[in-house]
Amino acid sequence: MALSAGVTAPPAGVDLRTELAGLALEHPVLNGSGTFDAIAALRVFGDGLRERFPFSAFVSKTITVAPRGGNPAPRLWETPVGLINSIGLPNKGLEGFLEHDLPVLATLPVPLIVSVAGFSRDEFAALVDGVAGRPEVAALELNVSCPNVKSGCVIGTEVGEMAALMRRVRPLTAKPLIVKLTPNVAEAGPVARAAEEGGADALSAINTLRATAVDPRSGKPWLGAGSGGLSGPAVRAVALAQVAEAAAATTLPIVGMGGIQTGRDALDFISVGASCVAVGTESFRDPAAGTRVKNELARELQRVSLRSMRDATASFGRAAGRS
Ligand code: RRO
């Protein structure tokens, strides 16, 4: 598949440049962590990927301190309008990431955001310590919301845990810390507020919704790990509500995501308070989806008489970044 398949040019005269926690971005469309394998894409598309990179910043697949093999197969189940994944955080571990992946990701033409997840506060601290000092890294995403590992969600669902995590990691770096929120809570506001009070620079929302699927032949759970996380258009309305709640509860910039497939979807997230958006599941179908969504968003802004992202975030009542 060509990286530009199905992508039409953006309209002239719409300024999509924006800012996220101090990072200057060419446009507001990022990737959702774990949904675009840039290292594999570089192998397939070569320098063409760097020339037409679909995102304005790249968020890595989440890494942990120790290497992990991930969950037992099967790891995926497709629903009529969504995807359940039970990947289980396979990764090379901190040392392997720094040695093998970081040098390749550093060649991408956009700021690099490294997603990290610890199974304790000390592990989060080790990850922040190990990653934040590297000049190739522009910012970190704290993944406190993985639904696919035991205890993965605990920090992101408890205000006290969130506050304690921020107390532990905030002093370790001046680089932007983006907290990825879970939708698997009754209310998104309190944890979002705890992240802000603890010194987070931005939020991203949402991670996947806990979900399961039944094997039609055996009547038993289909996924090897029993359950997983739902993404795709099925979760978009839930994600919009969670982003709206986090926007009402904090002043932090928010990267909104959850089932974004079109520029119109992206505008919806901006309308409820996101200052950037991320494309996730849609990139599995179409690796150029980020570029298409960006160009469609420009047309959508033009349609509602907005000439820039600055105008868009101002008109929807929240600034694109902290001033
Ligand atoms: O690797 C995964 O199974 C995974 C992660 Br880390 C996450 O944050 N969200 C998700 O749906 N899957």
Q: Cα of 177 to ligand 1 centre, how many Å?
A: 19
Q: Cα of 146 to ligand 1 centre, how many Å?
A: 5
Q: State the angle between helix axes of 236-249 and 189-197 in degrees (0 to 180), rounded to the nearest 10.
A: 50
35 lines ligand 1 (CB under 6 A): no
Neighbouring C-alpha atoms within 13 Å toward the C-beta of 282: 26
Residue 283 pLDDT: 98
230 lines ligand 1 (CB under 6 A): no
Cα–Cα distances (Å) from 287 to 107, 147, 150, in that order, read: 18, 25, 31
For every residue of 119-132, which 3-state class applies, written as one string? CCHHHHHHHHHHHH
Confidence of residue 7 (pLDDT cuts 50, 70, 90): confident
Of the candidate ranges 53-62, 140-149, 274-283, the one whose mean pLDDT is the lowest: 140-149
Q: Cα of 89 to ligand 1 centre, how many Å?
A: 6
Confidence of residue 75 (pLDDT cuts 50, 70, 90): very high
Nearest to 127 by CA among 86, 91, 103, 163: 91
Residues above pLDDT 70, as percent of the chain: 95
The answer to whether 235 touches 259, Cβ cutoff 8 Å, is: yes
Task: Give the burial class of 170: count Cβ atoms within 10 A of its Cβ; 0-12 exposed, 13-18 middle, 19 or more buried.
Answer: middle
For ligand 1, atom 7: residue with the closest CA? 146
Residue 320 pLDDT: 41
Q: CA-to-CA distance for 94 and 132, rounded, in angstroms?
A: 12
Residues 155-181, mean pLDDT to the nearest whole number: 97
Hey, what's the torsion of the CAs at 44, 48, 53, 58, to 10 degrees? Answer: 50
Residue 319 pLDDT: 45
Residues 8-25, mean pLDDT to the nearest whole number: 92
Task: Give the burial class of 80: count Cβ atoms within 10 A of its Cβ; 0-12 exposed, 13-18 middle, 19 or more buried.
Answer: exposed
281 lines ligand 1 (CB under 6 A): no
Nearest to 76 by CA among 284, 290, 217: 284
Residue 321 pLDDT: 42
What are 152-158's contacts with CB under 8 Å, separation 24+?
152/89, 152/117, 153/182, 153/184, 153/210, 156/180, 156/181, 156/182, 156/184, 156/185, 156/191, 156/207, 157/182, 157/184, 157/185, 157/191, 158/191
146 lines ligand 1 (CB under 6 A): yes
Q: CA-to-CA distance for 263 and 265, rounded, in angstroms?
A: 5
Bridge partner list, 180: 143, 204
Q: Is the pLDDT of residue 53 over 90?
A: yes
What is the residue-averaged pLDDT of the chain?
94
Residue 6 pLDDT: 65
Residue 150 pLDDT: 67
Confidence of residue 322 (pLDDT cuts 50, 70, 90): very low
Q: pTM to 2 decimals? A: 0.96
Q: Could you identify the atom of ligand 1 that is nearest to the CA of residue 143? A: 8
Residues 167-191, mean pLDDT to the nearest whole number: 97
Q: Is the pLDDT of residue 121 over 60?
A: yes
Residue 323 pLDDT: 33
Query: Residue 153 has which token pair?
Result: 């969600």
Active site (catalytic) residues: 146
Q: Is the pLDDT of residue 196 over 90?
A: yes
Residue 130 pLDDT: 98
208 lines ligand 1 (CB under 6 A): yes
The answer to whether 56 touches 254, Cβ cutoff 8 Å, is: no
- Best mutation site among 37, 61, 62, 179 for ligand 1 pocket (most ligand atoms within 8 Å of CB): 62
Q: Cα of 312 to ligand 1 centre, how many Å?
A: 31
The answer to whether 231 touches 146, Cβ cutoff 8 Å, is: no
Reduce the DSSP state of residue 114 to 3 states and report it: strand
Query: Residue 262 has which token pair?
Result: 């079109």
Going 317 to 320 to 322 to 323, the CA torsion angle's sign is: negative
Q: Cα of 163 to ligand 1 centre, how many Å?
A: 22
Q: Cα of 175 to ligand 1 centre, how many Å?
A: 24
Residues 155-167, mean pLDDT to the nearest whole number: 95
83 lines ligand 1 (CB under 6 A): no
Cα–Cα distances (Å) from 70 to 121, 140, 163, in that order, read: 21, 22, 28
229 lines ligand 1 (CB under 6 A): yes
Q: Could you identify the atom of ligand 1 that is nearest to the CA of residue 89? A: 1
